[in-house]
Amino acid sequence: MPLELVTAPATDAALIDEVKEHMRVTIADDDAQIAGYIDGAIASLDGPKGLIKRALVTQTWRLHLDGFYREIVLPLPPLQSVTHIKYYDLDGVQQTLSSSVYTVDANREPGRISLAYDESWPPTYHIRNAVEIEFIAGYGDDWNSIPDDLGVAIAQVANLFYDYREPILTGTIQSNLPFGAQAIIDRYRVQSRVRT
């Protein structure tokens, strides 16, 4: 399931003020450092390598598949829309599939692509990554659109990075995340996998 980032999420300078409020930091001396910790906290959650396997703020991705499947489950919920589906036909020429051939279910999580009534997937050239699906995912265009508790998790993880520059040791057990952040992460973690 090769995934390719096409358009990264926009950063929001207002996020630093919210996180600083959570940290109870009132001076601007550490703003650059805190911004780096926020980026690290977001990276630990967002995208295909993040802990929750979700797109937080609007971003565009390309999913490459070896062929079509009865139902295609898209990674990184929530799905906003599918931009296009392209495929290599039997002559090895890339074609754009008409949107009338398939339906997109962005209401389910994760989002899915299925055949429209009385349609069939076209045959594809026998190569790897013969199908390309470009889609837009995320809760919205800015950080205010993510669920409030995910914002709290970002703030808690950034605060942890700010307060402790090394892993925290409690007895013989190493704790990497605050309990509250871990509970939020567990609640939002995507469990299903995309068929490849």
DSSP labels for 102-165? EEEE-SSSS-EEEEPTT--PPP--SSTT-EEEEEEESS-SSGGGS-HHHHHHHHHHHHHHHH-S
pLDDT of amino acid 191: 79
Q: What is the mean pLDDT of residues 11-16?
A: 72
Q: Which helix (H) or strand (E) holds 64?
A: strand 59-65
pLDDT of residue 174: 45
Which class is 9-55+141-188 in CATH? mainly alpha
pTM value is 0.85
- Residues near 166 by beta carbon (within 8 Å), at least 6 away in sequence: none
Q: What mean pLDDT, rounded, does the chain reach? A: 88
CB 23 within 8 A of CB 152: no
Q: Examine the pLDDT at 194 and tell me if it is beyond 70.
A: no
- Looking at the chain, the whole-number percentage of residues with pLDDT higher than 70 is 88
Give the pLDDT confidence score for residue 196 in this predicted structure.
Answer: 38
In this prediction, residue 91 carries a pLDDT of 96
Question: What pLDDT shows up at residue 88?
Answer: 98
Residue that wins the pLDDT comparison between 27 and 47: 47
The pLDDT assigned to 192 comes to 59
Instruction: Tell me the C-alpha distance between 93 and 59, whole Å.
Output: 28
Least confident of 12-16, 119-123, 164-168: 164-168
Residue range 54-71: mean pLDDT, rounded:
96
pLDDT at 54 over 50: yes
CA–CA separation, 147 vs 91, rounded Å? 46
Residue 175 banded pLDDT, cuts 50, 70, 90 = low
Q: Which residues contact 12 (CB under 8 A, 6 or more apart)?
A: 57, 142, 143, 144
pLDDT band at 21 (very low <50, low <70, confident <90, very high): confident
Residues of the chain with CATH 1.10.3230: 9-55+141-188
pLDDT at 172 over 50: no
Closest CA to 185 of 70, 81, 56, 59: 56
Comparing 140 with 1, which gets the higher pLDDT?
Answer: 140
